[in-house]
Amino acid sequence: MQYSESGPVSRDEENPFESMKRRFEVAAHYLDLKPGIYDYLIAPEKQVIVTVPIQMDDGTVQVYEAYRVIHNTALGPSKGGIRYAPDVNLDEIKALAAWMTWKCAVVRIPFGGAKGGIKCDPTRLTQVQLEKITRRYTANLLEIFGPEKDVPAPDVNTNSQVMAWIMDTYSMHVQKTETAVVTGKPLFLGGSRGRREATGRGVMLVTMRMMEKIGLAPKEARVIVQGFGNVGSVSASLLHEQGCKVVGISDISGGYYNPGGIDVKKVITYMESHKTLEGFDGADPIDGMELLKQDCDVLVPAAREDQITSKNAPDIRAKIVVEGANGPTTAKADKILDERGILVVPDILANAGGVTVSYFEWVQNRMGYYWSEKDVNKRLKRIMKESFDEVYRLAKDHNVSLRIGAYILGVDRVAKVVRIRGIYA
């Protein structure tokens, strides 16, 4: 398990679903959506809350609340990760599910949006307990999941092992090995080459494209990455590989800043034996939230929601913010960053590399034929580049931020399909 995602800092600004709605409203205005379609697109199709009991080693029973929200399936089976965290709640999962709908539409993959979560603290659970929770959650949602219905994936605090348990539990119930029911699986169990790195690779690709647009050479770019989990660590190493100078990183143990540059390879090796960044001596320790305000050119929030709020947005010094996490910037903060001329490459574009390679994994499972890493990365690069360029052009045409450009693109694609399909009654 990776626990290096920073915990949420401020959820008081507005709830994530409201934050999502506010951007949707602006996009809807540009698209001239009819009120009925507007209501239909914003409402989740299905919201499931299940109780997950497990028996502990001493015979006592612990009960957890868990969720799966299917936001929209107009484009295809719903797709989205499952997160394990103590503060998971329905509003957060609803917002994340809607973001998956727009995200899949932005990168033009034939999936709808969903998200799931279990309200638990994985740091306090053993592997055996995690397996029990995962299997019971899957069993409770057998009617929801399915390769042609709803396909989960990893998210905060879940990984390929958790996906393998989901796949196995589902397969036991349907009496056949069904790899395509979940993505982000281990490589030898139907996983795709390049899936683990895909979100970070996508972040790197859009960052390079954005830098190109503003004439910032990789060698001149100083980067701060918040969160050193799967997304943050891969983004940092790939940006480093491109010649950028990574000057700041962080995880649950706090921030680490070195204006002279951090040796990312050294950090990765350090993490392998230490699990967290605590004690890393290649940079000066700094408060995790203070790190966001340090001088840099590119800031990659790759931890959790609500990290850049109206409180710290006036102090952000980056030229570009690339959202590796889902919802790291609140709607209020968006406005401030926009007014200050800070360019934000929004989550539904910036971190779409993950679900894109999840789609490749699902396709490979269904074909029974597996691609080389080179093929996966080449296809990912093409999709990220084309999607970035479409969002950029729309934002320019409408004179709006890249965030609103991305919403216009995603919402329009879903709305068009809804119109053509019509409303079944």
What's the number of CA atoms in the CB half-sphere (13 Å) around residue 201?
A: 23
When binding is defined by CB under 6 A, the residue of 183, 192, 307, 309 that contacts ligand GLU is 183
Q: Distance (Å, rounded) from C-alpha 307 to C-alpha 328?
A: 5
Measured from the CB of residue 348, what is the shortest distance to ligand GLU in angstroms?
9
- Report the nearest approach of ligand GLU to the CB of residue 225 (Å): 17
Q: Which of 81, 112, 301, 328 binds ligand GLU (CB under 6 A)?
A: 81
80 contributes a contact to ligand GLU by CB under 6 A: yes
Q: 3-class DSSP state for residue 163? A: helix
Provide φ and ψ at 284, rounded to 5°: -85, 135
**145 bridge partner residues:** none
The count of residues interacting with ligand GLU (CB under 6 A) is: 11
> Of all residues in this chain, which one has the CB nearest to ligand GLU in the complex?
81
Cα 365 to Cα 361: distance, rounded to the nearest angstrom: 6
CB 337 within 8 A of CB 309: no
Shortest separation between residue 138's beta carbon and ligand GLU, angstroms:
15
- In the numeric block, the tokens 């000066």 are attached to 284
The CB-of-300 to ligand GLU minimum distance in angstroms stands at: 15
Part in contact with ligand GLU (CB under 6 A); list of ranges 38-46, 73-81, 246-254, 333-341 = 73-81
Nearer to ligand GLU, 155 or 390 (CB): 155
Q: Which is nearer to ligand GLU, 270 or 360 (CB)?
A: 360
Q: How far is the CB of 357 from ligand GLU (least distance, A)?
A: 8
Please tell me whether residue 275 adopts helix, strand or coil conformation.
coil
Q: Cα(95)–Cα(349) distance, rounded to whole angstroms?
A: 16
Our CB check for ligand GLU shows the closer of 73 and 358 to be: 358
Q: Which residues are tagged catalytic?
A: 115
Q: Are 131 and 165 in contact (CB under 8 A)?
A: yes
* φ and ψ of 373, to 5 deg: -60, -35
Residue 230 binds to ligand GLU (criterion: CB under 6 A): no
* Maximum separation of any 2 CA atoms in the chain, in Å: 64
Residue number with CB closer to ligand GLU (131 or 361): 361
Give the residue ranges of DSSP H helices in 141-194: 160-174
Beta bridge partners of 66: 50, 118
CB-CB neighbours of 12 under 10 Å: 9
Whole-angstrom distance, CA of residue 404 vs CA of residue 406 = 5
C-beta closer to ligand GLU: residue 307 or 351: 351
Position among 155, 197, 305, 323 found at the interface with ligand GLU (CB under 6 A): 155
Is 5 one of the binding residues for ligand GLU (CB under 6 A)? no
307-366 positions binding ligand GLU, by CB under 6 A: 326, 351, 354-355, 358
Q: Which is nearer to ligand GLU, 76 or 261 (CB)?
A: 76
Closest to ligand GLU by CB, 26 vs 163, is: 163
The stretch near ligand GLU (CB under 6 A) out of 76-84, 130-138, 163-171, 410-418 is 76-84
State the amino acid at position 275 in one-letter form.
Answer: K
Residue 176, number of CB atoms within 10 A of its CB: 8
Q: Please, which residues have CB within 8 angstroms of residue 11's CB and are 6 or more apart in sequence?
A: 87, 305, 306
Least spacing, CB of residue 286 vs ligand GLU, in Å: 28
* Residue placing its CB nearer to ligand GLU in the complex, 79 or 135: 79
Counting contacts by CB under 6 A, is residue 297 touching ligand GLU? no
Q: Report yes or no: 52 and 133 within 8 Å, Cβ to Cβ.
A: yes
Q: How far is the CB of 80 from ligand GLU (least distance, A)?
A: 5
The answer to whether 74 and 102 are in contact (CB under 8 A) is no
If binding is defined by CB under 6 A, does position 179 make contact with ligand GLU? Answer: no
Least separation in angstroms between residue 356's CB and ligand GLU is: 8
- Distance separating alpha carbons of residues 258 and 364, to the nearest angstrom: 42
Q: In the range 371-410, which residues lie near ligand GLU by CB under 6 A? A: none
Contact footprint for ligand GLU (CB under 6 A): 79-81, 153, 155, 183, 326, 351, 354-355, 358
